[in-house]
Chains A and B, each alone.
Chain A
């Protein structure tokens, strides 16, 4: 099996889906000739032409809204937001339109569209090139939000998102793009949206997280294993709607749960995970559910001192895991 990077898995999934189904097309800023500012659509313009790899005007509400129109017609647009931070001008289209189209039309119309966006910090991107925006959309029934951690999951879940008949927000961690590599089958496969995945079996503590933080938790778990602490790690993969069963099972397994995100703490995905655990797992818990998250400041600052202070890393996760194990 070939070892490829996280971003190569994105490109591979896009290429294969565009080959498989000529209703699939890509639109966004600089996605054409340039192949995307991160190069996620590299080579697609040459392979599929400018009509299927569309350089749009710099206008996010139109990228989303035009995508919605094309999807309602029966196409399968894959829209790219250049950075998740710049999805904000498109929020009305995503929440008022894409999320509600099927429901408001009583199942007459639907929006089979995927919106991809690079999110996350640790890249000297400062306030507006570092954000995690999933919580903005994670109370909007009608949307699905996928945030994969590995190249294998990227390929399988991006393909599933493109084939899904409802709108999917697909958030890719921009630091994972080249940092994270992994084995990815060359053949076609999809992974189920809405299913969390156990990334490490363990019996002492449970860590539930998603995105790049999965790797921080895995690294921390290897170190802690040397100290005899055996961590169970659940990767949410889909952060909305959540895999309740998977969360309950993982939490109940060890009775000690640490939830990790690089997003701000209050009102985030992990707070909802915590609520699910408290509703369902009271008698299985041996410690209060812990949340490890970014601070509640608007976004990640630029200066390295402050960026490091905000950004999640393996050391912070390791410390929180050890503290919980010792509770």
Chain B
């Protein structure tokens, strides 16, 4: 039997199985979204595929009863881990009134749900980075011991808000985990045309924080790195930059055609390292994911995704005139 890697991280068999289940849930919802898009039922999809291990591994390393998440559009794995439900996600896909992210105001992937401390996000990339710093600053002022996790793409790490936010957090030693999900592309532009340094994590030194690059297909490696970063943050030692390297397995979005800029061989090669495959293998080797459990899990998830889809498809849109609401605070009784 292969070496057990999760026990030494303090993770039980049940916990790693649950972690995998959340990864698989994200993948299955994402796949369904594409089918719905190609069937003309939802206008837009932007995928988590290839980044589930990083997203769920990182989230499980946090205290999901008090820490804050500031996800970006691919982070279905993060928001599922933080308590958003498959039905919530489908409601967002169909832009229905009950969508907790925005009531159907924003495109899918623009997450936000206060009760689960998932902070609302927008389309301009990287604007969430200073917000994560502000939330951590507030926590420090209020003497709370939560950390904030903010995620973004490697292309987005070139924005000024990354620099300004990271520097601020470094100067004020704030408990922020900056996690770059490096999937090798920013739409069509490869990482070689985005960065002059070798790794995004090389940038950490400029902000007085440690930087690590880890295998983004390995949820345990990500878990370990994020756990250490969260401990650092809670101990008042300040922020950490973590780069998770994986691959974007789908086109940028449902409106993109990645055949125009990358070879199929490259994508096929990346699929061999797909965490949904490799982590399942690990769990099988550990006798945690038995055939019986796997069948059951697949059936259960399929059922949940079906139910969520049906519910969301049949749910109501917001009233047209409700577009006038909530520009400013309204005093309703």
Contacts and interface: CB of A to CB of B under 8 A. Distances in A.
Interface of A: 25, 51-52, 56-57, 59, 61-62, 64-75, 77, 89, 92-93, 96-97, 100-110, 141-142, 144, 164-166
A105 B120 contact: yes
B127 A57 contact: no
B160 A61 contact: yes
A57 B135 CA distance: 17
A75 B144 CA distance: 13
A25 B129 contact: no
A104 B106 contact: yes
B168 interface: yes
Interface stretch (B108-116, B180-188, B194-202): B108-116
A161 to B, nearest CB: 13
A102 B329 CA distance: 8
Contacts of B163: 59
Interface of B: 68, 99-103, 105-106, 110, 112-114, 119-120, 122-124, 127, 129-139, 141-142, 160-161, 163-165, 167-168, 171, 325-330
A57 B129 CA distance: 15
Given A103-B327, A108-B100, A62 B119 contact: no
A76 to B, nearest CB: 10
B131 A57 contact: no
Contacts of B101: 105-106
A22 B160 CA distance: 31
Contacts of A89: 160
Contact of B113 (A74, A92, A102, A108): A108
Contacts of A166: 328-329
A97 B122 contact: yes
A296 to B, nearest CB: 30
Given A66-B133, A72-B119, A166-B329, 12 more contacts: A56-B168, A66-B168, A75-B138, A89-B160, A93-B161, A96-B124, A102-B326, A102-B327, A104-B106, A104-B120, A108-B113, A142-B328
The 5 closest A-B pairs by CB, nearest first: A69-B134, A65-B130, A106-B103, A69-B131, A62-B164
A67 B327 contact: no
A108 B101 CA distance: 8
A58 B68 CA distance: 26
B133 A65 contact: yes
A107 B134 contact: no
Given A73-B138, A96-B127, A62 B133 contact: yes
Given A104-B122, A106-B103, A142-B327, A70 B168 contact: no
26 contacts: A57-B164, A59-B167, A61-B164, A62-B161, A62-B164, A65-B129, A65-B134, A69-B135, A69-B136, A69-B138, A70-B134, A75-B138, A89-B160, A92-B127, A93-B127, A93-B130, A93-B161, A96-B127, A101-B120, A102-B326, A104-B120, A106-B101, A106-B102, A109-B114, A165-B329, A166-B329
A100 B127 CA distance: 13
B262 to A, nearest CB: 30
Contacts of B329: 102, 110, 164-166
A179 B47 CA distance: 58
B134 A141 contact: no
Contacts of A62: 130, 133, 161, 164-165, 167-168
Contacts of B114: 105, 108-109
A74 B133 contact: no
B105 A106 contact: yes
A217 to B, nearest CB: 30
Contacts of B131: 65-66, 68-69, 72, 97
B82 to A, nearest CB: 14
B64 to A, nearest CB: 17
A65 B102 contact: no
A65 B127 contact: yes
Contacts of A74: 138
B133 A69 contact: yes
A107 B141 contact: no
Given A72-B134, A96-B124, A106 B326 contact: yes
B108 to A, nearest CB: 13
A56 B161 CA distance: 15
A62 B105 CA distance: 27
A107 B331 CA distance: 12
